[in-house]
A and B are shown apart, each in its own frame.
Chain A
Amino acid sequence: MSPEHGAAVATALTNYVFPNDIHVLWSLMIVLYPYITGIVAGAFIVSSLYHVFHIESLKPVSRYALVFALAFLAFATVPLLNHLGHPERAMNMMLTPSPTSAMAGFGYIYSAYAVVLVLEILFIYRPTLVALKKRARGGMKLLYGILTMGSDNLSPEALRVDHKITAFLAAIGIPMACTLHGYVGFIFGGVKANPMWATPLMPVIFLLSASVSGIAGIILSYIIIRKYTNKSIDMDCIRTLIKFLWGCFILDFVFEMLELFSHAYMATHHWEALRDLYLGPLYWSFIVAQVGIFSLIPFVALGILSLVKLSDKIVMKWASILSFMILVQVLLMRWNVVIGGQLMSKSERGHAVFHPGFFTKEGILVSIIIMALPIVFLWLLSKVFPFWLDDDPAVERLSA
């Protein structure tokens, strides 16, 4: 037997996985959870760019981004509840939390963020809601009555107070959105037993990928909705969003690669197992798909789109394609971190395999349904909160 052959056999034979590590416990639901919360955090940041940092060109999507964030926020806990063995005990995390648990804070951070987001939407939309209330009948009138919190006062003084409140909420919303998703990264980054997760870069990478997924989600859905409803698309807004997407993605992609590079460069005793993981079970989903196709292409193309003067038609077409690619990239990143991290057995001598089921409790079908729910809810929200300024009765009234 040649030594080469012997080495190959040895590699195959040394694949030892601890018996309990065969089960990949956190599957598609835990892939979706940071994906959805990331979109929420990213969309909020888009809105804040206008409301706090006064990037005027983002005005057309500034309110829509908040409603978009709310639509996803409403379903962020659904995959978690579906994953829990005992969802009926989920509230124990908030009622009797263990202060040392990195997970126990999620309920509080999530709830606090939800309150800020809902209040921000209600105050920003208040003039619109008051105008809609006057037009509405029956159930809708009652609904608008509740949403306006019983106040029809649109005097300059009242609007000035509203503006102060929304500026304050948007300002505290930024650190909260960053905390929300940085914290989700920490839930993984704090697991010292898993060398792939246990890096202080994890919250940073999660936060940056959240920003890009939120911006990409806004760009893609804005273009689709405006096209579908035969409304004009504000190209200045799209161009600005693309620039922010590129900027955030540069940081995101560079940090993702730096993390990998650090592992490889330091080459601790974990590296051998990590390398086998990246070159083995994660070869297609990480090296080929996440890095090769869905990172490198948008990385270069977003740069071209941001720097080169191109026609509106080309910008719009490529903005849609690249936003879609970025959304796939972030989903792949969540998959590779959540699933990939568990494939490497803590024996550091081998890796498990994972193939998601289709009809299982946490399978592909349920995942598709969960990802569709925020989109359906967004459609419902559109019936209550006009997304755009051009179909806002308050704007019509004020301009008239």
Chain B
Amino acid sequence: MMKDIEQEISRSRRAFIKKVLGGTIAGSLLLVIPAGAMDLKSIPEQIPGMRKKKGPFVTGKKFAFIVDITRCIGCGSCCVADKNEYQVPDGNYRTWVERYVIDDEDNVYVDSPNGGLDGYQEPRKDLPYPVRDTFFVPKLCNMCEHPSCVQVCPVGATFQTEDGFVLIDYKRCVGCGYCVQACPYSVRFINPETETADKCTWCYHRVRKGLLPACVNVCPVQARKFGDLNDHESEVYKILHQPHVISVLKPGMGNKPSLHYVGLRREVV
């Protein structure tokens, strides 16, 4: 009797190991063999008309990014999506989310631990006075109409496309860091792995294929919006042409950002 039980246990162990091994192999194959989901045509076009366009750069479009700070909940999903999309080295940020807290004495406290990557799960407990107001501000490349980075780049590695993107040619960049110094918004950094300048691209590679930027896609509260201002049906066009409280960061710099904020507060720099 005892022997039968032992045999049964041994048999189930072997079966268990077989199943695990089988599962592992099958799982690995799934990683190796391109899945059907990789086929671009099966994903609906999120930006109308992009896939009809030929060539690397798009003409006839004027892209804009809108961040609605009245919606942002500080979950950090955008930062996670961005880090996954680009494998951004730790300690550098293509996008980040700031937490603003204003107390009864009008003191403004700002923080962004790990760029907001972990989400703001706990309220700040280290403040001396009662809190009056709090909000989150996601930051990313402002894609300026008059970009300082393009102006100062000594080799033309940072350039502006006709559709309003400011991009970097990583094969030309010398890594001098002048653009990092010149950017009023500190969205640039020297990537320690490539030793070239790096920054948010508004996911140009996705946009060119008719997909929204990764951070826009994952935002659970639609605080990040992206679209073509020449398309009057686009959400960004409608928001910018309706009576919202809209502003840009550091307007006095004269850079004319294409990144707009809905509900921007004067405390935000």
Q: Is the CB of A6 within 8 A of B105?
A: yes
Q: How many angstroms between the C-alpha atoms of A193 and B111 in the bound complex?
A: 21
Give the interface size class of chain B. 35 or more
Q: How many angstroms between the C-alpha atoms of A10 and B176 in the bound complex?
A: 37
Contact with A14, one of B110, B148, B152, B183 (Cβ below 8 angstroms): B110
1/0 contact trace for A87-102 toward B, CB 8 Å? Answer: 1011011001110111
Give the interface segment out of A21-29, A67-75, A130-138, A208-216. Answer: A21-29
Q: How many angstroms between the C-alpha atoms of A96 and B152 in the bound complex?
A: 14
Q: How many angstroms between the C-alpha atoms of A41 and B110 in the bound complex?
A: 45
Contact with A21, one of B98, B128, B186 (Cβ below 8 angstroms): B186
User: How many A-B pairs fall under 8 Å by CB?
Assistant: 142
Contact with B154, one of A13, A101, A348 (Cβ below 8 angstroms): A101
Contact with B180, one of A25, A92, A100, A101 (Cβ below 8 angstroms): A25
Q: How far in angstroms is the closest Cβ of chain A from B115?
A: 5
Does A369 belong to the interface (CB within 8 Å)?
no
Does A9 belong to the interface (CB within 8 Å)?
yes
Q: Is the CB of A348 within 8 A of B128?
A: no
Contact with A86, one of B139, B175, B189 (Cβ below 8 angstroms): B175
Q: Is the CB of A86 within 8 A of B196?
A: yes
Q: Is the CB of B112 within 8 A of A192?
A: no
Contact with A103, one of B111, B150, B154 (Cβ below 8 angstroms): B154
Q: Is the CB of A10 within 8 A of B175?
A: no
In the complex, chain B residues whose CB is within 8 Å of the CB of A106: 154
Q: Is the CB of B128 within 8 A of A104?
A: no
**Most chain B CB atoms below 10 A, which of A5, A80, A192:** A192
In the complex, chain A residues whose CB is within 8 Å of the CB of B253: 192-193
Q: How far in angstroms is the closest Cβ of chain A from B170?
A: 10
Does A346 belong to the interface (CB within 8 Å)?
yes
Does A263 belong to the interface (CB within 8 Å)?
no
Q: Is the CB of B151 within 8 A of A101?
A: yes
Q: Is the CB of B174 within 8 A of A86?
A: yes
Q: Is the CB of A16 within 8 A of B111?
A: yes
Q: How far in angstroms is the closest Cβ of chain B from A194?
A: 6
Q: Is the CB of A84 within 8 A of B176?
A: yes
In the complex, chain B residues whose CB is within 8 Å of the CB of A104: 154-155
Contact with A92, one of B107, B174, B187 (Cβ below 8 angstroms): B174
Q: How many angstroms between the C-alpha atoms of A349 and B172 in the bound complex?
A: 34
Q: Is the CB of A6 within 8 A of B129?
A: yes
Q: Is the CB of A23 within 8 A of B189?
A: yes
Q: Is the CB of B186 within 8 A of A347?
A: yes
In the complex, chain A residues whose CB is within 8 Å of the CB of B126: 13
Does A128 belong to the interface (CB within 8 Å)?
no
Q: How many angstroms between the C-alpha atoms of A345 and B181 in the bound complex?
A: 11
A107, closest chain B residue (CB) = B154
Q: Is the CB of B115 within 8 A of A19?
A: yes
In the complex, chain B residues whose CB is within 8 Å of the CB of A86: 173-175, 195-196
Contact with A193, one of B91, B107, B173, B182 (Cβ below 8 angstroms): B182
Does B92 belong to the interface (CB within 8 Å)?
yes
**Most chain B CB atoms below 10 A, which of A87, A193, A349:** A193
Does A400 belong to the interface (CB within 8 Å)?
no
Q: How many angstroms between the C-alpha atoms of A121 and B104 in the bound complex?
A: 70
Does A320 belong to the interface (CB within 8 Å)?
no
Q: How many angstroms between the C-alpha atoms of A238 and B155 in the bound complex?
A: 45
Classify the interface of chain A: helix, strand, loop or mixed. loop
Q: How many angstroms between the C-alpha atoms of A85 and B154 in the bound complex?
A: 14
In the complex, chain B residues whose CB is within 8 Å of the CB of A13: 107, 109, 126-127
**Most chain A CB atoms below 10 A, which of B111, B112, B172, B269:** B269
In the complex, chain A residues whose CB is within 8 Å of the CB of B98: 16
Q: How far in angstroms is the closest Cβ of chain A from B158?
A: 9
Does B65 belong to the interface (CB within 8 Å)?
no
Q: Is the CB of B189 within 8 A of A342?
A: no
Does B184 belong to the interface (CB within 8 Å)?
yes
Q: Is the CB of A25 within 8 A of B173?
A: no
Q: Is the CB of B156 within 8 A of A85?
A: no
Q: How many angstroms between the C-alpha atoms of A16 and B110 in the bound complex?
A: 6
In the complex, chain B residues whose CB is within 8 Å of the CB of A399: none
Q: Is the CB of A349 within 8 A of B178?
A: no
Interface residues of A in 215-255 (CB under 8 A from B): none
Does B108 belong to the interface (CB within 8 Å)?
yes
Q: How far in angstroms is the closest Cβ of chain B from A302?
A: 34
Q: Is the CB of A101 within 8 A of B153?
A: yes
In the complex, chain B residues whose CB is within 8 Å of the CB of A23: 91-92, 189-190
Contact of A348 with B172 at beta-carbon distance under 8 Å, contacts A6-B105, A20-B92, A191-B182 already known: no
Interface residues of A in 1-44 (CB under 8 A from B): 1, 5-6, 9-10, 13-14, 16, 18-23, 25-26
Does B93 belong to the interface (CB within 8 Å)?
yes
Q: Is the CB of B196 within 8 A of A85?
A: yes
Q: Is the CB of A89 within 8 A of B181?
A: no
Does B185 belong to the interface (CB within 8 Å)?
yes
Contact of A10 with B269 at beta-carbon distance under 8 Å, contacts A92-B174, A193-B253 already known: no
Q: How far in angstroms is the closest Cβ of chain B from A349?
A: 6
Does A59 belong to the interface (CB within 8 Å)?
no
A85, closest chain B residue (CB) = B175
A345, closest chain B residue (CB) = B186
Interface residues of B in 181-203 (CB under 8 A from A): 181-190, 194-196
1/0 contact trace for B110-122 toward A, CB 8 Å? Answer: 1110010000000
Q: How many angstroms between the C-alpha atoms of A348 and B110 in the bound complex?
A: 11
Q: Is the CB of A10 within 8 A of B107?
A: yes
A197, closest chain B residue (CB) = B181
Contact of A347 with B110 at beta-carbon distance under 8 Å, contacts A25-B177, A93-B155 already known: yes
Give the 10 A-B residue pairs with the shortest CB-CB distance, closest first.
A85-B175, A85-B195, A16-B110, A193-B184, A18-B186, A104-B154, A103-B154, A98-B156, A101-B154, A92-B155
Chain A: residues with CB nearer than 8 A to chain B? Answer: 1, 5-6, 9-10, 13-14, 16, 18-23, 25-26, 80, 83-87, 89-90, 92-93, 96-98, 100-104, 106, 187, 190-194, 342, 345-349
What would be 9 A-B contacts, judged by CB atoms less than 8 Å apart? Answer: A18-B186, A26-B181, A85-B196, A106-B154, A191-B182, A192-B148, A346-B269, A347-B186, A347-B269
